[in-house]
């Protein structure tokens, strides 16, 4: 029942998302993340479904850092210097150092909202001349601002799925025989 968005075959006539469209998607993601995290509350937002899986707070902490380092931050660096060399960043080490699983939901939400709102404002202000500016990333090669804007939308949804899976993992033990409905759908 799953669809892998990277398997898309019908792309004729699809242009990359424009900055104004990306800004709308970034806002929708912001609102969804905040609602889900608020619903989870402090105890569940810090809960890890398995020792190797991020908590909901860590998922959002990753979005905060990705906005800061990989998307808004990278776009700002490209606008300052077209063709800039861009290193990657150790996402697992950054997540571990943040220790988001220990933080209250309100602190995570405040940090996420502030950074995302600022990023949306930046995206809305991007003109057509900015979209082809680029960086050379150490792992993937040349990436344009347009590439990064579209990846940002994709990346958000990937981690929203992860956030939702955490909530599903919390509900699973209480489902009893209703688990069989899920097994029948596979």
CATH number at residue 120: 1.20.120.450
- The stretch 14-28 carries a mean pLDDT of 96
Model pLDDT for residues 63-103, shown as the tens digit of each residue? 999 999 999 999 999 999 999 999 888 999 999 999 999 99
In a domain, 1, yes or no: no
Question: pLDDT grade, residue 10 (50/70/90)?
Answer: confident
In a domain, 2, yes or no: no
Question: Is residue 18 scored above 60 in pLDDT?
Answer: yes
**Number of domains the chain is built from:** 1
Per the structure, the complete domain to which residue 173 belongs is given by: 14-185
**Residue in 29, 89, 90 with CA at minimum distance from that of residue 60:** 29
Percent with pLDDT over 90 in the chain: 84
- Residue with the bigger pLDDT between 9 and 171: it is 171
Task: Check: CB of residue 133 under 8 Å from CB of residue 145.
Answer: yes
């Amino acid at each position: 029942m799953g669809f892998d968005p990277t398997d898309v075959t019908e792309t004729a006539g699809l242009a990359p998302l424009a900055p104004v469209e990306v800004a709308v998607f970034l806002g929708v993601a912001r609102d969804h993340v905040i609602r889900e995290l608020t619903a989870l509350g402090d105890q569940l937002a810090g809960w890890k479904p398995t020792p190797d899986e991020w908590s909901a707070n860590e998922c959002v902490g990753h979005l905060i850092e990705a906005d800061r380092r990989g998307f808004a931050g990278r776009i700002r660096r490209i606008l300052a210097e077209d063709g800039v060399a861009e290193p990657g960043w150790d996402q697992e080490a950054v997540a571990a150092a943040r220790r988001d699983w220990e933080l209250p939901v309100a602190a995570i939400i405040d940090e996420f909202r502030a950074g995302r709102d600022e990023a949306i404002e930046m995206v809305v202000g991007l003109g057509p001349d900015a979209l082809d500016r680029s960086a050379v990333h150490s792992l993937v090669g040349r990436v344009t601002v347009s590439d990064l804007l579209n990846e940002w939308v994709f990346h958000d949804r990937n981690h929203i799925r992860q956030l939702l899976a955490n909530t599903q993992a919390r509900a699973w033990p209480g489902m009893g025989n209703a688990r069989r409905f899920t097994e029948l759908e596979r």
